[in-house]
Structure 1
Amino acid sequence: MSKDEVREFLVTRRAKVTPQMVGLPDVGTRRVPGLRRGEVAVLAGVSVEYYTKLERGDLRGVSDEVLDAIASALRFDEAERSHLYDLARTANAGTRARRRPAVGATVRASLRHLVDSVTDAAAVLGNQRADIVATNTLARALYDPLYLSQTEPVSYPRFIFLDPAARRFYPDWDVIADASVASLRTVAGRSPFDRSITDLVGELSTRSDEFRVRWARHDVRLHIEGIKRMHHPVVGLVELEYNVLALPADDGLNLTVYTAAPGSETEEKLRLLASWWASEQGAALGASSHPA
């Protein structure tokens, strides 16, 4: 994690906060948007020299109290505050830090059984870099468009930024793209020595202008819950609620469950989707059993 990463994060956050937002008078000509360094220092209760040192990327030895004060001065949300702590932790790890081993491709049998046991919702087992590691039957049907253009493990970011079909699949593509990059940057801050994540960021930055522009914003987010709209080529538009569950026994993995509101049109479409996928699988099995 370079000093540039820290500097750009703090500079971009400072640019988002206006004097009016924090009760300061807006006086003088501002060369850049947002607060001045001196104003952040006053709000955080530190000297201008000390805050300047931090914004230049040097978080070594900074206390939790100072991190909290800066986070409050810059109006950080929970994701931004956590990211600042991640950056500080990495800065203080220095040369003692070790690369995090890549998460293995194997999934515990009982975890696989858990995913398969979800029948009325779409269940996706994912890893930190947003690969689909495993799904239940309904989720496999839901995300069939992603599997059409990729070998496994299927990658959400690669689909979103490298596959033109993503703009048809996600009606709210810009929102999805923003969230994908912000989630990936959050993970990169949490696991800065994971080579698979840095390689993915490098690949997407090279191949996608849309990704590169968003990455430069230094936005972060906690991917926990929300609503996602998808336009499936078979059943049309579905609107799904999702919740992301942490798996303490499986470091680096999470379980996302997509559900439809009871009685909604999407609930009926999920039933149709399950029926379609069952017929598709039946036809494929029949074809393999009776080769030409």
Structure 2
Amino acid sequence: MKTAAEMQPQEGDFAMKKGLSIQEKLKDLRVVEKGFTLKQLADETGIASSTLGSYESDDYKDISHTNLVILAEYYHVSTDWLLGLTESREVQNHEIAELHLDDETLDILKSGRLNNRLLCEMIKHPDFLKLMTDTEIYVDGIATMQIKNMNDWLNAVRLQIVQQHNPESNDLYVQVLDAARIDEEEYFFHNIHGDLDRVIRSIREKNQNATESAPIERPASNDKKMQRLLQSMKYKSNPIEEFWRYFCEELQIDYDKLLDDEHDTMKRIFKKSKLLKSFPSHKNKARK
């Protein structure tokens, strides 16, 4: 038999739960995280135990704003998380201005034009900080003066060697000095590109087995079926009609139940196909 301690819910159990209702969240916070009875929680928060019990029951209807704030503050979670408006339990104390996110950036993030999940993965990647550091150094020109000073020193040494020793154009030491010069753009573009490559490659490898990122493979039998269809359509009086019937069959669309304008619309689209246009017109042959 399990001991009483073993039968108690563990903290990790709660962390794994997702999509909980507000009743379930409040009960888990009380029982799993605090291990309190309703009376103990009432003593801690000043909210009547009967009221707290109603918040956790299946017939829960409403919770006052004041009590919602009290419970959120007591459990150190956000009210938005309790209400199911966000997946983040943390209380967001940072003002938008402190995050340097302007209105245009927020609009882009909320527009759905970006894959925000992928963006979050990139930001959390350990090499992303190096990518941002290298980018900042280049954009702000932080190392520009140091690189210029080093190149100036190399040029001065090279000039001194040429003046004193008059070496040949392919002299080893002159070649080394020439190779040691740093092109700022080439140097940082190489570093930044490498940083970005590592981040993206790592995320790809991590997610390559995910269902949603798996490539769609068409069975070879379907390819053969399509080849046979196209071959037979060369000898049909109306290849577009034939292809439209095949299209409906493959997508499990009831061809006979479609409206006339639906047939006409799709046939007009198929007529734009260069492949279907290449089939000979048997109607013209019939007229001769």
TM-score w.r.t. the length of structure 2 is 0.28
Between structure 1 and structure 2, the one with the greater Rg is 2
Instruction: Identify, as 1 or 2, the structure richer in strand.
Output: 1
Give 1 or 2: higher helix fraction.
2
Q: TM-score normalized by structure 1? A: 0.28
Of the two structures, which has the highest relative contact order with CA contacts closer than 8 Å and spacing of 6 or more? 1
